[in-house]
Structure 1
Amino acid sequence: MQQALSALETGRINVAARAIAEFQAIQLQLVEMATRVQSARLLTFWAASRLDAGDRADGETGMAKVMASETALYCSLEAMRIHGEPQSASG
């Protein structure tokens, strides 16, 4: 039993020694999150430019709102998954 626990602890140290951003899967998740945030930002700018020009922008503002709220939810959940949901929930 001691050997198994020792091996497990050694494995944890080896994984923990790397920065979380060094894992390719994490990098891909971060890129996906950044892409969604940028998309929401651009939709918001587009809607704002229509409003600044004096045009109606009901559709544009609706799209920006949906994208921004969906992006906020997606990124929040992904961040919890990246950092470990149980740890985040307990503080």
Structure 2
Amino acid sequence: MALYPLTSNFEGDFVLQLIAVDTEHTMEEVAKTAAHHSVNRRVADRPGHGLRVRRQGSTEPFPKTMKVADAGLLPMECIEVVWEAPATAH
């Protein structure tokens, strides 16, 4: 377990945030950490929506349960945190 610095580019925010996460945090925890710095500050909340983390420039998010230590991210690397639409019931 170690603190790990990442840069967060949160969807809809115009400010890049430096966030400190733990190498044992999951991507879901990383998304929540990033949201703390953006949602209801410069970005409106989207009730019912989830959050996903992906490497900047990628279209595929990391699995929610993947740990920072397993993601291959470099210190200070920029991640994108994007809204995920709620699942629709059929």
Q: Do they fold alike, i.e. is TM over 0.5? A: no
- TM normalised by structure 1 equals 0.23
Higher RCO (Cα < 8 Å, 6 or more apart): 2
**Structure with a larger share of its residues in strand:** 2
Structure of greater Rg: 1
Give the TM-score taking structure 2 as reference length.
Answer: 0.23
